Amino acid sequence: MKEWKKIYDSKLVTVEEAASKIKSGDRVWVASAASAPAKLVNSIAERSSELVDVEWYDSLAFNLFDFFKGEGKGHINVNTWYMSGVTRKFKKEGNINVASIHLSKLYKYIQEKEPTVVLCEVSEPDENGYMCYGPAGVVTCDEAAKSADRIIVQVNKHCPYIHGERNKVHVSEVAYICEDHHQVLELPQAPASEIDEKIADYIIPEIPDGATIQLGIGGTANAVGYGLENKKDLGVHSEMLTNSMVHLIKKGVINNSKKNYKPNKTVISFGLGSQELYDFMNKNESIEIRPFNEINDPNEIAKNDNLISINNALMVDFTGQVASEAIGFNQFSSTGGQLDFVRGSQLSKGGKSFICLPSTFNSEKGKKSRIMMTLPPGTAVTVPRTDAQYIVTEYGAADVSNKTLSERAKLLIGIAHPDFREELKQQAIEAGIIS
């Protein structure tokens, strides 16, 4: 028997035993999204009433754990650096605390919090006893492990093994191992709407052959991604690997041959999508995981010529301020890496930044314009007006960079929904923004 297998067996416990190793006062860092060890965390949740002042750090939680609810406060206090639909649902109950963190600075946040425990779902050990932190655990777990006195892993034979930097942990480095073999949690793919397709139609011609792309999740990103089939020699430098990217790689559209930085590699920080995506990532040497403080550093982003960044927003005001994470104090998502890529793409030779949004949204009072004179009170500005470049709706693309406030307002009103343009124009005149 290999030496690492003996170590593995000596640390193997039941899920319930692993859950019992969380103590009052612990600072627990749990892997993101599909890499959260759901069975283990549910077992911890079952004993949350026994615990006092556990600080819990998560992001993009896909699973509902009972301590997310208000009664969890004081027992397991939830801190999230990226909101999900699940944590958003329970925020008003008072036990979801949201941190505003640029992904390029996330590791400083981890260092300040000094986690005492790391929880992650991992792959089975390789021939040398190393387990991969998985499609989303690779983002932060290695950094969090630096201060932790306990690394507790849940081994899943279906978890992909992904190549990269700081992507794995040896069986000798973990305190406890439990097992739960199940299919990796998939992210349902948002279908592209007619509006998404129209927005994509304005962006796709602006992406040259040989460009390096960054895409996020959602209908617009999918409309752009799948709409790039006729391009050539695209590359990827992005926080996440998406299903549309996998599609383009298989088609030969993405080959990373023209990238200046790490050519011939799809460079990402994590993967999130379907089983097809996870299967594609598994032991694929053309994919390389890199830390957020590298992937999201604007200066690193800019090493690639023609870096095209495509992100979503909720609202934009006349000056070009972009709100992508909240409306008033109602938090929808989080700061994330949007501004990192907005800045990095514009530092790139030939690079471009696109912020996309439908022109309207439905409120209790009826249809409202997402292009507006001022953002609602309390609304966080994700991208300052000094950084905004292309703003895109289904009615056009407005390049607001280096424009006067008057020019910006006119351009943005021009891509607002036609039903609101005259009203918006009058508001701008009355405010003295345009004459």
Q: Which amino acid is at 389?
A: Q
Both tokens of 22, joined, read 């969380």
Minimal CA–CA distance to 371: which of 291, 328, 314?
314
Minimal CA–CA distance to 275: which of 305, 243, 306?
243
Phi and psi dihedrals of 11, rounded to 5?
Answer: -105, 0
Non-local (6+) Cβ contacts of 12 within 8 A are 177, 178, 179
Burial of 126 (0-12, 13-18, 19+ CB in 10 A): middle
Q: How far apart are CA 135 and CA 240, in angstroms?
A: 9
Tell me if 388 sits within 8 A of 415, measured CB to CB.
no
Q: How far apart are CA 23 and CA 397, in angstroms?
A: 53
Q: How far apart are CA 365 and CA 374, in angstroms?
A: 18
Strand partners, 28: 56, 117
Minimal CA–CA distance to 218: which of 185, 251, 240?
240
Three-state DSSP at 59 gives: coil
Tell me if 301 sits within 8 A of 237, measured CB to CB.
yes
Both tokens of 41, joined, read 């965390």
Among the listed residues 121, 143, 239, 325, the single catalytic one is 239
Residue where the block lists tokens 């801190």: 79
Residue where the block lists tokens 């994590």: 270
Minimal CA–CA distance to 60: which of 24, 103, 94, 107?
103
Strand partners, 58: 80
Q: 337: which DSSP letter?
A: T
Q: Which amino acid is at 26?
A: D
**Is residue 239 annotated as part of the catalytic site, yes or no?**
yes
207 — alpha (psi -120 to 50), left (phi > 0) or beta? beta
Q: Give whole-number Cα distances, 155 to 2, 40, 250, 426, in Å.
A: 18, 11, 29, 61
Q: Which amino acid is at 168?
A: K
Minimal CA–CA distance to 415: which of 389, 434, 396, 391?
396
Residues classed as catalytic: 239
